[in-house]
Amino acid sequence: MDEIVNLIFNYGGTVILAGLFIYVFFTDRKDNMQVLKELSSSNHNIAESLNLLKTSINNNTAEYRQHDERAIKQFSSINEHLIRIEDKIDKRGE
């Protein structure tokens, strides 16, 4: 009996610290798992937002290209009309 009491006095602090370590380890692990789940959900939402942004950028780029093509056609048409007008003016002046 004296040996058990001596063991508790000698190693009691170590056993208590080991027990506290194990307790903290498991409670933190549960909390960390919950945080990881929330981060995973947040990452999924961010990924969806980035995909929507990419789609929007692609749509805008396509619209700008179409606008540029239409503008180039209109400017070339205007340029042709100006050349015809200049030719008519030159013919009248001769």
* pLDDT score recorded for residue 46: 92
* pLDDT score recorded for residue 59: 94
Residue that the structure tokens 């945080």 belong to: 35
Per-residue pLDDT 10s for the chain (94 aa) are 677 667 667 777 777 777 788 888 888 877 778 888 888 888 889 999 999 999 999 999 999 999 999 988 888 888 888 888 888 887 876 6
Rg of the chain (C-alpha set)? 40
- List helix spans (H) across the chain: 2-93
What is the rounded distance in angstroms from the CA atom of residue 78 to the CA atom of residue 71?
10
* Residue 3 in tokens: 């040996």
* pLDDT score recorded for residue 52: 95
* pLDDT score recorded for residue 27: 82
Global pTM? 0.48
